[in-house]
Structures are given as structure tokens and as C-alpha cells.
Amino acid sequence: MAVKLDGAALAAKIKMQIREEAAALPRPPMLAVVLAGEDPASQIYVRGKERDCAECGVHTRTHRLPAEVSQGDLLALVEQLNQDEAVDGILVQLPLPEGLDPRPVLHALAPEKDVDGFHPLNAGLLALGEPGFQPCTPAGVLALLDAYDIPIRGRRCVVLGRSHLVGRPLAQLLTARDGTVTLCHSRTEDLPALTRQADILVSAAGRAGLVTAGMVKPGAAVVDVAMNRRADGKLTGDVDFPAVEPVAGFLTPVPGGVGPMTRACLLKNVLRASRLRQAR
Ligand code: NAP
């Protein structure tokens, strides 16, 4: 039976450490959150992030904007937060309401306040293997593998999903750690032949039931990033958990796996942004 990769427990430990480190700074870190529109999932995510920050002594200021906000007003708010000396990190909750283009908004963020790691400068630094703000979900996956001493160097890693937020940066992080990475997507042919070679298999496709037991190499570490909403409202990943559990060596639950690690890595980025600004 696979060892459970317990993201919730690890995230709780990381948060305790962040709390101590935040308390040692001259002033508490400050995260500004921009939430446009009424998307119910986004409201839940933002509340969760506010709670995490409060638990760790990180201050938050959430700017709630109507769904009808104009692109120009949104950009003006980002610019104002860029200039605000009290703000260490800025998080623009995605997705934006229909009609708003997220790209100019993310491009407008001051890279040193880009705690989600989505600004092109931070994406470029990641591609070059240089230090910058790393996106929270891929960083969370790496932290989880490291906590369970799962080796990456020289191992075959297969990532399902090539989004700029998850799959692609994760492939870059695994490559930087000397993994041999195959990045798959919806046009990949014969997915099972590739996944069966994986020592580390990460699924971030957002397709419930995509990863079956027959696609998993015995003993592999299987990380399920996806959060799919079932008809009954419950969350489920991409991996057929009960079928894969007896085959895999390590397996993340959903929820309680990558989700809490993503949130912990956001806090890490806010702490880092604050520390860098306070040291200037
Ligand atoms: P996305 O932008 O929709 O990207 C999905 C990727 O999966 C695309 O690259 C797509 O390929 C690929 N894909 C779709 N069907 C596939 C299939 N049958 N086989 C192989 N690849 C397939 O999604 P995302 O933002 O990366 O998020 C992915 C999942 O992770 C979602 O379920 C999301 O909710 C979840 N998520 C979780 C966290 C967390 O904290 N746990 C954070 C972020 C996202 P194409 O490029 O060819 O379309």
C-alpha cells in the first residue's frame, strides 16, 4: 500500500516555522489580495488564504472589486499596490471575471511583489534556473517530494498538463533538480506507455479518473495536483485513488495533498518578499 504524502501535516509544520520567522521581522509581512467578481470558488480560496495568513502573523488587505470592473481600473489598482510601501506581496486571484484579460494584469505586477510567481520575469528566471519567486503549486509539489526523501536526480518524471501555472513550471523545477522529465498534454499519444515509465508521476490535467492503476509503475511516487468538483460537490483528483493505492509507492490524497502545500508555499513567498523589502 502506498505511503500517504500528507500535505496537510507538512503544511502545518511549515506554517509554524513561518509564524516564528514572521514574528522575528521588524514589522509583520503584508499581503494585498485582489479579488474581482463573485466566483464562489475564488471567494473560498481567498478566505482560506486570509485565514492562513492570520494564523502565521501575516497581515492581509483584500481589495474586492465588482465583476464589471474595467481593465483600466484593475491595472490602476495593481499600480497603486506596486507603489504602496506597506505592501510586500500582491496576489491577483484568478480566474478574472469574463471580459478581463489576466495577462496585462499579471505583467503589471512589480516582480518583487509577485508572490504567485506568474510575472514573466519570474517565469523567465525559473526557466533559466535562477532564483526568483516560484509558482506555489509546483514549489509545493517539490517540497512534498523532498519531505518524504523521494529522489528526483536521474529519475524519470512524467507530468500531465502543460499549463503556465502548474505543469510547465513544475517540469522546469524537476529538470533543474536533474529529473528526466516528459511533459504531457491533451495531444500526447499513448499516455499509458509514458506514465508506466515514471518514477515520479504528477497529474495536473483536471480530468477525474485519468490516472488508472494500469498507468502506474509499481512503487512510483504519484502526486495528484488536480481538484475536480464531483456532481455531489466533493473534491476529487485525477487519480483513481483506491485502484492506484496498492500499486504506487507514495500517493497524495485529494484533498489534503498538494492543496495545503500550495497555500504554505504562498506564505513562504510572502515571507521572502517581506524579508527582502525590509532588508533594503
Ligand atoms: P489547465 O490550465 O486547464 O491545464 C490543464 C492541462 O492538462 C492542459 O495542459 C491540458 O492539455 C492537459 N490535459 C487535459 N486533458 C488531458 C489528458 N486527457 N491527458 C493529458 N493531459 C491533459 O489547468 P491548470 O490550471 O494547470 O490546473 C490543473 C488542475 O490542477 C486543475 O484540476 C486545477 O483545479 C488543479 N490545481 C490545483 C491546485 C492545488 O493547489 N492543488 C493549484 C492549481 C491548480 P492542453 O494543453 O493540450 O490543453
50-71: pLDDT as tens digits = 999 999 999 999 999 999 999 9
Split at pLDDT 50, 70, 90, the class of 93 is: very high
Q: Which of 15, 88, 93, 217 is catalytic?
A: 93
pLDDT, residue 280, reads 87
Best residue among 106, 186, 202, 252 to mutate for probing ligand 1, ranked by most atoms within 8 Å of CB: 186
The answer to whether residue 13 is catalytic is no
CA 138 to chain CA centroid, Å, is: 5
- pLDDT above 90 for 19: yes
167 lines ligand 1 (CB under 6 A): yes
- Looking at the chain, the whole-number percentage of residues with pLDDT higher than 70 is 100
Mean pLDDT of the region 20-43: 97
Inter-axis angle of helices 167-176 and 136-147, nearest 10: 40
Atom number of ligand 1 nearest to Cα 258: 41
162 lines ligand 1 (CB under 6 A): yes
- pLDDT above 90 for 195: yes
Mean pLDDT of the region 228-244: 95
Q: Which amino acid is at 25?
A: L
Kindly list the distances between the CA atom of residue 241 and the CA atoms of 6, 9, 66, 208, 216, in Å, as whole numbers in the listed order.
14, 19, 39, 10, 12
The answer to whether residue 43 is catalytic is no
What are the E-state strand segments in 37-175?
Answer: 59-65, 89-92, 156-160
Kindly list the distances between the CA atom of residue 168 and the CA atoms of 50, 103, 139, in Å, as whole numbers in the listed order.
27, 17, 12
CA of 268 to the centre of ligand 1 (A): 24
pLDDT digits (tens, 9 = 90+) for 109-155: 999 999 999 999 999 999 999 999 999 999 999 999 999 999 999 99
Mean pLDDT of the region 67-96: 98
Report the side by side order of strands in the sheet with 200-203. 3-4, 250-251, 221-224, 200-203, 156-160, 180-184
Name the closest-CA residue to atom 41, ligand 1.
Answer: 259
What average pLDDT is seen over the chain? 97
- pLDDT above 90 for 9: yes
The answer to whether residue 116 is catalytic is yes
Distance, in Å, from the CA atom of 247 to the CA atom of 171, rounded to the nearest integer, reads 24
Q: Are 210 and 203 in contact (CB under 8 A)?
A: yes
pLDDT, residue 233, reads 87
204 lines ligand 1 (CB under 6 A): yes
